[in-house]
Amino acid sequence: MKPIALGYLRSDLSGAAQDWDEIRIRSLAKRYGYDLAKTIVFTARTVDPLTGLIAIVRRISAEAVFVPHRQHLGAEMPPTLVGICDVITVDDESTYARRHWRSASRFIERTT
């Protein structure tokens, strides 16, 4: 079985490119060997979209979330999300791996 992934985007950030962003998410997830369960789309009016996304990730036990680019998750990569699943950006194919993120977070906490 393939690991489960979600797509995620903000329609206000994708704008007219939303369909293209969704195609790119599906394509990269398939290329990386994931079973893309669905793409979650929130708007600028969505209250606390990150909490909603995390709840869905937990509910379906997603291994990864694919986003068009980092800005869809806010100014900074959310540690709560990266703590429970990998986050993969489509535009530059960066992977924020939960295993490495947890190790780095513990290191930062100990050195500060």
DSSP 6: E
Q: What is the structure's pLDDT at 75?
A: 85
pLDDT in tens, 70-80: 999 988 889 99
Q: What is the structure's pLDDT at 81?
A: 95
User: Which domains, ranges and CATH numbers included, belong to the chain?
Assistant: 4-111 (3.40.50.1390)
- Asked whether the beta carbons of 86 and 63 are under 8 A apart, the reply is yes
Q: What is the structure's pLDDT at 112?
A: 39
The residues, any chain, with a CB within 8 Å of residue 94's CB and separated by 6 or more, are 70, 88
- Asked whether the beta carbons of 87 and 96 are under 8 A apart, the reply is yes
Q: What is the structure's pLDDT at 21?
A: 98
Residue ranges in the chain modelled with pLDDT below 70: 100-112
d(CA 40, CA 12): 13
